[in-house]
Each structure stands twice: as structure tokens, then as C-alpha cells.
């Protein structure tokens, strides 16, 4: 196992009175693809939002790239987040501006590149996700899957060290899903990115995931390599891997 880039110790999290996660301990190793699995509503998105400091836990400690993010002030946290790209479950593109302007945001915010160069980076990223024709489109003019891909383009605009992706493959047809997997894989292999993704797509997990974290009953029920997960005798995991991915996936 590579050195961990993210470490979570004894995390406890709730919305108001509703407990979502407790006793969560996990490590995410560098340069691997870690898939977070679990039934709908079990707290995957919540866990992801803790990792990037958007939610504050009741208890516990969270380290990214060696920094305890709960102890950082806003500016220090922003410096850490510069190295992270985030693809939100709903895409989270700003709806009032074009795709190109959306992708320009992190570039304008964190670099001193000129307009020309930013334009070329935007084109490059849109091409990468197969949306070069949609440069001037507003997010509202895209389909759900296209929006997800555009959001991915924005998330990887700055070559993040860690890419967090909440259901990147949801709503994609099998062909496009396969090319998405190929893209994610090459981000890891050729650029050395660490990927943390929430996903329900068993086919895609089997193709690209190195590690599995399975959430259930407000806890981490399983954490280990893909092979260990496939051989595990935990009933929930067996059901998960034996059911058809196309039925499990949410549009």
C-alpha cells in the first residue's frame, strides 16, 4: 500500500439529530483509485464532503496530504484544496454561465495564466471529456451525463493531486462509461493522480478500482483491496458484486 494522502480517524458525523457516520477510520493511499460503496443514503457523499472540509464532524480527525484540515483557517484550507479537484454528485456547474466560463473559474482563481492560455486549457479539457462542441453551451442546455462530464473537466483543470468524484459514471451509457473509466485510469497511471470516487457501477469498479471502502450501518463495514472485496464473505458485499450494475446504477 502506498503512503496515505488522506487519513481519517474516529470520525463521527450527524445532520442535526440524525447520526450519519461513526467510528470511521480509513486511509486512502496515494496514486490509487479508491471506490467508496454503499447503499443510497448511507453517507458516501457526506464522507466525501468531510474529506474536503465542507462539513465539520462532531468528532474525529481528518488529514489531507499531511495537513489536519480541521485545524486550518480558511486561507490554509484553500491552499490545500487547490491540490484537489472535486466532481460533485449533481455536477454543480454554475448555471448562469457557459461551460467554458465554468472551467475558467479555477484557472482564473488559482493561476496567473493569460486569457489565451486559459482558452486553450478549456478546449483541451472539453475535448478530453468529449464535449468540444459545447464550449459556449449553458449547463442547462446539456443532458445529465454531459453535465457530469463537463463538471469532470472543471475538476481536473488544474491537474489536481487528488480527484474526488461523486458518482462520475452515473447516467452514462456503457460505451461512454467505458471511456470515462479509461480517462480516470490514465489520470492515475500517467499523471500519478489519487482518485477517490463514490460509485455504484460494479462493472467500472471491477475495471479500475484498486481499493474498496464499503459503508453501511453508519460505519465502515469493509476496507481493503479490490481482490479482498471480491473474495469477502460480508453478505452486503456479495450482494453488491453479484447484482447487475446496470440495475444498481442510478440515473
Partner 1 sequence: MPREIIKIPSALGFSNVEEVRHQITKLISAESPQEFILDFAEVESIDTAGVALIDYLNEFAPRFGTEITLTNVSKKISSAMDVFHLKKVFTPEKKEPPGFFEKTGDLFYKLKNSVGDILILLSNITYWSGLSIVRPKLRRKGEVIHQSILIGVNAFPIIALIAFLIGFILALQSAAQLRQFGANIYVADLVAIAMVSEMGPLITAIMVAGRSGSAIAAEIATMVVTEEIDALKVMGIDPAPYLVVPKVMAMSLVMPMLTIFANFIGIIGGMVIAITYLDLDILPFFNEVMSVLRYKELVTSIVKSLTFAFIIAVTAAYFGQKVKGGAEGVGKSTTSAVVFSIFFVIVADSILGLLFYFGETTF
CB 104 within 8 A of CB 88: no
Q: Which of 22, 27, 34, 46 binds ligand ATP (CB under 6 A)?
A: 46
Q: Where are the beta strands (DSSP E) in 1-158?
A: 4-15, 18-29, 33-38, 59-64, 67-68, 84-87
Q: Which of 22, 27, 45, 199 binds ligand ATP (CB under 6 A)?
A: 45
> What is d(CA 247, CA 250) in angstroms, rounded to the nearest whole number?
8
Give the list of residues 6+ apart from residue 184 with CB closer than 8 angstroms, or none: 33, 163, 165, 168, 195, 197, 208
Residue 97 CB: number of other CB atoms within 10 A?
Answer: 13
Please identify the residue of the shown chain whose CB is closest to the bound Mg ion.
Answer: 45
Name the site residues for partner 1 (rule: CB under 8 A).
16, 41, 49, 52, 54, 78, 81-82, 84, 86, 88-95, 105-106, 109-114, 116-117, 120-121, 123-125, 127-133, 143-149, 156-159, 171-173, 175-176, 179, 182-183, 186-187, 190-191, 250-251
Q: What are the cell numbers at 5?
A: 494522502
Q: Does 223 bind Mg ion (CB under 5 A)?
A: no
Half-sphere exposure of 246 (CA within 13 A, CB side): 4
Measured from the CB atom, is 55 or 65 closer to ligand ATP? 55
| Nearest distance, CB of residue 180 and Mg ion, angstroms | 18
Residue 171 binds which of Mg ion, partner 1, ligand ATP, none (CB < 5-8 A, kind-dependent): partner 1
> What is d(CA 27, CA 220) in angstroms, rounded to the nearest whole number?
12
Q: What are the cell numbers at 145?
A: 451525463
The number of residues in the chain equals: 251
| Nearest distance, CB of residue 139 and Mg ion, angstroms | 19
Q: Which of 3, 17, 40, 242 binds ligand ATP (CB under 6 A)?
A: 40
Binding mask 8-37 for ligand ATP (x = CB under 6 A): -------x----x-----------------
Measured from the CB atom, is 2 or 186 closer to partner 1? 186
Amino acid at each position: 500500500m502506498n503512503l496515505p494522502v488522506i487519513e481519517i480517524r474516529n470520525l463521527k458525523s450527524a445532520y442535526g439529530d440524525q447520526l450519519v457516520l461513526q467510528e470511521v477510520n480509513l486511509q486512502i493511499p496515494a496514486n490509487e483509485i479508491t471506490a467508496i460503496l454503499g447503499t443510497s443514503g448511507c453517507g458516501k457523499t457526506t464522507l466525501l464532503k468531510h474529506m474536503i472540509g465542507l462539513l465539520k464532524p462532531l468528532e474525529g480527525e481528518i488529514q489531507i496530504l499531511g495537513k489536519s484540515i480541521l485545524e486550518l483557517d480558511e486561507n490554509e484550507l484553500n491552499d490545500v484544496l487547490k491540490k484537489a479537484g472535486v466532481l460533485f454528485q449533481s455536477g454543480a456547474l454554475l448555471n448562469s454561465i457557459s461551460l467554458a466560463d465554468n472551467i475558467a473559474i479555477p484557472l482564473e482563481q488559482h493561476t496567473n495564466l493569460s486569457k489565451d492560455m486559459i482558452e486553450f486549457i478549456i478546449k483541451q479539457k472539453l475535448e478530453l471529456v468529449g464535449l468540444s462542441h459545447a464550449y459556449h453551451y449553458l449547463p442547462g442546455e446539456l443532458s445529465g451525463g454531459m453535465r457530469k462530464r463537463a463538471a469532470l473537466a472543471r475538476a481536473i483543470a488544474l491537474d489536481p493531486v487528488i480527484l474526488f468524484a461523486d458518482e462520475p459514471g452515473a447516467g452514462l451509457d456503457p460505451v461512454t462509461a467505458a471511456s470515462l473509466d479509461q480517462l480516470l485510469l490514465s489520470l492515475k497511471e500517467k499523471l500519478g493522480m489519487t482518485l477517490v470516487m463514490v460509485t455504484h457501477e460494479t462493472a467500472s469498479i471491477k475495471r479500475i478500482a484498486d481499493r474498496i471502502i464499503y459503508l453501511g450501518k453508519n460505519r465502515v463495514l469493509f476496507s481493503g483491496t479490490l481482490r479482498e472485496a471480491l473474495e469477502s464473505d460480508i453478505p452486503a458485499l456479495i450482494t453488491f458484486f453479484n447484482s447487475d450494475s446496470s440495475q444498481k446504477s442510478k440515473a
